């Protein structure tokens, strides 16, 4: 029997505790080590994990196969670079890096080192997104004319944390933007152009807390929206096609289940009882149908990483796909500053 891959997790904040650690273990890998300044916090959840105070000790351990980086955004590049140089396979939480240039350097280094480099775009396995993807692929909506993705929160008070500070990689666009960009690119590929309105709406805001971004395609428009000032009412997805429309309210349930202490794969895992609504076009009022949501499963990401390392199968989120996300994210930042639409020119 093959021994499980030994994984080291850098950082033990919200993302590590809620997402990475449970998903790593749920897919048969061993959470062997955690880099954290709070050993007690880690051992309360994972008593068998070795806790290191710094990342260098992780990189020096020859028994570690995979390093997962879930630290503040401005550390992603240097830590991933060091891990690859140490011969480790690497998973980086989103956003991949701060800049496209950094992302491309990591991709090149991973190729030189012959290591798997993957980015944690887990929301490809959201229940609602999988449902929409299946509808589009089946042609149930006809040719899509408009796609709207809303990822909203209600947090009117600015909190004292790096994600809402003024530093590099802070703000809502770097936090939620990668999710909604990646989902759009998975459905429709690269856009022709990007127009962004990025703002600081809350009193005391130090970074973007409201984003409205338009991706222009030849025959459709994609609207990506995220805000900290939405108390409720906005749908998660709205899709209009030549034959039908689809509307879905509510976020995927997996994050809330993980926050509540549920383990991946438990009863009801990934199931969303809030149906979407399919509106089929007719000469009069549309025919309305409640459409059950397909189950989501974030475990598929780490299962894919595990198999890519141990069996040589396809990387579930290869670096070149995450680079495209960074290109759109960065272009939107420049568009917001210039207050004009900018053409998207893919790298050669």
Provide the CATH number for the domain formed by 6-120 in this structure.
3.40.50.720
Q: Which residue blocks in the chain are alpha helix, DSSP H?
A: 14-15, 21-26, 39-45, 55-60, 76-85, 100-113, 127-138, 172-175, 177-188, 254-259, 299-311, 319-338
Predicted confidence at residue 283, as pLDDT, reads 76
Residue 284 has pLDDT above 90, yes or no: no
In the sheet with 66-69, reading across from the earlier edge strand, the strands are 50-52, 30-35, 6-10, 66-69, 89-93, 117-120
Domain borders along the chain are: 6-120, 123-296+329-343
Mean pLDDT of the chain, nearest integer: 96
In the sheet with 237-241, reading across from the earlier edge strand, the strands are 287-291, 276-280, 244-248, 237-241, 144-152, 221-227, 210-216, 193-199, 342-343
Predicted confidence at residue 308, as pLDDT, reads 98
Angle at 324 (CA atoms; ends 318, 326), nearest 5 degrees: 105
Q: Domain 123-296+329-343, CATH 3.30.360.10 — does that match? A: yes
Decide: helix, strand or coil at residue 265: coil
pLDDT, one tens digit per residue, over 214-246 is 999 999 999 999 999 999 989 999 999 999 999
> Which whole number is the average pLDDT over 288-295?
95
d(CA 298, CA 312): 20
Predicted confidence at residue 37, as pLDDT, reads 94
Predicted confidence at residue 23, as pLDDT, reads 98
DSSP state of 270: T
- Single pTM value for the model: 0.95
């Amino acid at each position: 029997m093959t021994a499980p891959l030994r994984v080291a997790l850098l950082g033990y904040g919200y993302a590590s505790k809620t997402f990475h650690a449970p998903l790593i273990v749920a897919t048969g890998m061993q959470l062997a080590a955690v880099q954290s300044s709070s050993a007690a916090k880690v051992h309360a959840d994972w008593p068998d994990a070795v806790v290191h105070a710094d990342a260098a000790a992780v990189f020096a351990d020859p028994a570690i196969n995979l390093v997962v980086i879930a630290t503040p955004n401005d550390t992603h590049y240097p830590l991933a670079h060091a891990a690859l140089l140490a011969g480790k396979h690497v998973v980086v939480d989103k956003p991949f890096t701060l800049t496209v240039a950094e992302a491309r350097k990591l991709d090149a280094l991973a190729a030189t080192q012959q290591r798997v480099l993957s980015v944690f775009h887990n929301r490809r396995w959201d229940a609602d997104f999988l449902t929409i993807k299946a509808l589009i692929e089946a042609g149930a909506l006809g040719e899509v004319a408009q796609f709207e993705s809303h990822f909203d929160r209600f947090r009117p008070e600015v909190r004292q944390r790096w994600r809402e500070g003024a530093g590099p990689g802070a703000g809502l666009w770097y936090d939620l933007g990668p999710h909604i960009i990646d989902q759009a690119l998975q459905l429709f590929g690269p856009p022709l152009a990007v127009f962004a309105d990025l703002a600081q709406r809350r009193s005391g805001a130090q970074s973007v807390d409201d984003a409205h971004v338009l991706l222009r395609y030849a025959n459709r428009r994609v609207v990506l929206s995220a805000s900290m000032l939405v108390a409720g009412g906005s749908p998660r997805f709205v899709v209009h096609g030549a034959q039908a429309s689809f509307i879905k309210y509510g976020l995927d349930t997996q994050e809330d289940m993980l926050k509540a202490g549920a383990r991946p794969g438990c009863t009801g895992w990934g199931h969303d009882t809030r149906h979407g609504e399919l509106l089929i076009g007719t000469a009069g009022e549309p025919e309305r149908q409640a459409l059950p949501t397909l189950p989501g499963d974030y475990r598929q990401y780490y299962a894919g990483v595990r198999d890519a390392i141990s069996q040589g199968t396809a990387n579930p989120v290869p670096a070149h796909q995450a680079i495209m996300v960074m290109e759109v994210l960065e272009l939107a930042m420049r568009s917001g500053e210039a207050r004009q639409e900018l053409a998207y020119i893919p790298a050669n």
